[in-house]
Structure 1
Amino acid sequence: MKFHYEFPIKKIPVPLTHYHKTLMIGSCFTENIGNLLKRHCFTVLENPNGILFNPVSVVEAVDSYIHQKQINESDLFLLNETWHSWKHHSRFSDITPAATVAKINASTFAAGQFLKSASHIMITLGSAWVYRLTDAADGEAGSVAANNHKAPSTWFTRELLTAEITQKLLQQMVDSLLKLNPYLQIIFTISPVRHLREGVIDNNRSKAVLIQAVHDLVNQNVATYYFPAYELVIDDLRDYRFYAEDLVHPNYQATQYVWEKLVDACIAKEASDLFKLIKEIKLAYQHKPFNPQTIQHQQFLRKYENETARLMEQFPFIQLTDELNYFKTGFVPREQF
């Protein structure tokens, strides 16, 4: 008997290898996959603006990287004794405007530099609902907030984007990205995270807009690719067992399943063949011996020093410097604990 529906996934034209660089931007599901890529030693830059859900905020963020748009203190607002940006996640917020500006501008600059030499960008869209600032808000009325920073509800109006407007916005972004970096492979996904704060019906309306817009876009642009993370959770697994207790976020098992499908569709075999050894080295690095001075432990360190050095020599883009230093010295820096 079959207990879930599996479907074939189209392979990406340019699969990821360890010498590629990937910028990842979008919802919290982006960070789940980004963490798995980093754990397997891929070069990844995640969410330079912090988590973003709606297409307008994603497009504005990418535009700021491409054109290296730096902000100043007048672009911020003060709420609950903290300075925030409507275009950024609260992890950039600080108690002084200068500190907030410094963090945001440094992240924007780094993202712009990274994007120039990136091989891939993965964009995960979460919701087609946008929240625009009202006249009551401290900010430009009508502009879209990427994060509400727990501001009063009277500061926002809610609007559902259409598929046509969403596609147009994304197309402008694709054109700008390829003008900056003509060899970029642009991967789109739609987050399987359910935005139930909008209600079940409005969540489904939102996902429908994103699905329509992204597929129309991908059909018209050879540099774009769609990975079906949303369909894998909603249609393949299709069971609340694969959601966390909040019934909103996919759980560990679901994320791992999507990861396995991503590896098969989007990662080159010569890269995935190294996963077992990378995992073994990282587990060895986490090993805490009872008696570090024993001959057995010294042999253990020498074995993995040789394995790690050999791997890094053969694949210079795989960075395991901390692990190699530990195997050489037996010493883990204090900040690791």
Structure 2
Amino acid sequence: MQFRTQIPVSKSNNPISYDSEIVSLGSCFAVNMGEKFNYFKFQNTINPFGILFHPVALKKFIDYSLADKEFTETDIFYHNERWHCFDAHSDLSSTDKEELLANLSNATKNTLSKLKTASHLIVTLGTAWVYRYNQKNELVANCHKVPQKEFSKELLNTTSIKEALSGIINSVKNINPSVNIIFTVSPVRHIKDGFSENQWSKSNLISSVHETIAEVKENLAYFPSYEIMMDELRDYRFYAEDMIHPNQVAIDYIWERFAESHITLEAFTTMKEVDTVQKGMHHRSFNPESEQHKNFLLKLEQKAKSLKDKYPHIIFK
């Protein structure tokens, strides 16, 4: 897909290969991109704490991971017949208190392990709007449907965002100096905050990322997901039915722009081979017992084995 207007995207000095280890953290668009990495069988970890929308929540999660935090009952609360943690997404919430505590502690332990060896950390920022839990005077990652009167809504200024981003960079590089960090701003519009308010939020995030990268520079990059959506895909046909989230066509296009700038040329050959196997595995034969289909499956199995022999982490299910 080609457009008259294309956002310039700088080529990475340290592109991703099939030997790379990736950690993807952030908003729901981090999941979209993370699922692409998973589909093409890269070594990738996505949001162990669930979707985290704002930079302070991301910094807190990384700090918990690097401290190897053990969660206790003081870190969770009971609401609507489930146990929750204000610092994690509701995907981790549970009816069983001990299960939630175990899942939280395991998530931080696993993330610490992954961050120590990661070649790339991809951080997707969703919004600068945050909610402060008045009772404890703390910013939360998720309100978990606790009554709105319990929170105060705030907009993070660029100083606060830069502090969070610098904290993320310094903390991760302290345990893994060679890690490459890629920041991007989610193209998902937070219209519930208001149209102007969404732009205000995104502009604070974008300004803060650029200023942080300009100050730190080494092994940092910015990928313009939001700008590509706004300026290259500036048409509602690229949105899902809610007119807020990018549809699959837009996700595929942004992934293509990311891949051409941040993935090695050598990896593209393997990606094509992986794609062939993936599509073959989902192919439905009109006659599963035919010799033709059996030969097709045999060749598919050979291709999958060849990929696994070259990259042991590649497993097809």
- After the TM superposition, list the runs of 4 or more consecutive aligned residues in structure 1 that deviate by more than 6 angstroms: none
1:44 aligns with 2:44: yes
Q: Which runs of 5+ in 2 are unaligned?
A: none
Residues 110-149 of structure 1, C-alpha deviation per residue, up to 9 Å, x if partnerless?
11111111100000001111100013xxxxx211110111
Q: Does 1:14 align with 2:9?
A: no
Shift of 1:34: 0.3
Q: Distance in 2 between matches of 1:156 and 1:123?
A: 26
Aligned to 2:99: 99
Partner residue in 2 for 1:155? 150
* Displacement after TM superposition at 1:39 (Å): 0.2
Q: Is 2:187–2:225's contact at 8 Å kept on the other side of the alignment? A: yes
* Residue in structure 2 matched with residue 287 of structure 1 by the alignment: 283
Summarize the alignment of residues 165-244 of structure 1 with structure 2, pairs less than 5 Å apart: 165-221=160-216, 222-244=218-240
Pair 1:301-2:286 in alignment: no
| Structure 1 residue 9: Cα displacement | 0.8
For 2:130 and 2:164, the matched residues in 1 are separated by: 13
* Contact 2:26 2:58 (8 Å CA) reproduced: yes
Alignment match, 1:259: 255
> Which is worse superposed, 152-161 or 288-297?
288-297
* SS of equivalent residue, structure 1 residue 202: helix
Q: Residues 4 and 237 of structure 1 are in contact (CA less than 8 Å); yes or no, is this contact kept in structure 2?
A: no
Larger radius of gyration: 1
Residue identity in the other structure for 1:202: E
Q: Does 1:109 align with 2:105?
A: no
CA-CA distance at 1:48 after TM superposition: 1.1
* CA displacement, residues 34-66 of structure 1 (integer Å, 9 cap, x when unaligned): 001110010111011100111110110111111
Secondary structure of the 1:253 match is: helix
Pair 321,205 (structure 1): closer, same or farther in 2 beyond 3 Å: closer
Give the TM-score, by structure 1 length: 0.90
Moved more, 302-311 or 34-43: 302-311
CA distance in 1, matches of 2:228, 2:3: 14
How big is the shift at 1:252? 1.0
- Contact kept, 8 Å, 1:125 with 1:210, in 2: the verdict is yes
SS in 2 for 1:144: strand
Partner of residue 332, structure 1: none
Per the TM alignment, residue 321 of structure 1 is displaced from its structure 2 partner at its CA by 4.4
SS at match of 2:10: coil
SS in 1 for 2:87: coil
- Alignment length (residue pairs): 315
Aligned equivalents of 2:97 and 2:311: distance in 1?
Answer: 43
What is the CA-CA distance between 1:4 and the residue it aligns to?
Answer: 4.4
**Alpha-carbon shift at residue 207 of structure 1 (Å):** 0.7
Does the residue aligned with 1:32 lie in a helix, a strand or coil? helix
CA distance in structure 2 between the aligned counterparts of 1:303 and 1:77, rounded to whole angstroms = 53
2:306 alignment partner, one of 307, 310, 333: 310
- Structure 2 SS opposite 1:130: strand
What is the distance in 1 between the residues matched to 2:61 and 2:74? 18
Question: Aligned partners of 1:261, 1:291: CA distance in 2, in Å?
Answer: 39
Look up the SS of the partner of 1:25 in the other structure. strand
- Code of the aligned partner of 2:250: A
The question of whether the paired residues in 2 share the 8 Å contact of 1:167 and 1:213 is answered with yes
Residues 4 and 238 in structure 1, CA contact (< 8 A), matched pair in contact too = no
Query: How far apart, CA to CA, are the structure 2 residues paired with 1:55 and 1:177?
Result: 14
Q: Which moved more, 1:306-315 or 1:250-259?
A: 306-315
Residue deviations 1:229-264 (CA, integer Å, cap 9, x gap): 011001121122211121211111111110000010
Unaligned runs of 5+ in 1: 136-140, 323-337
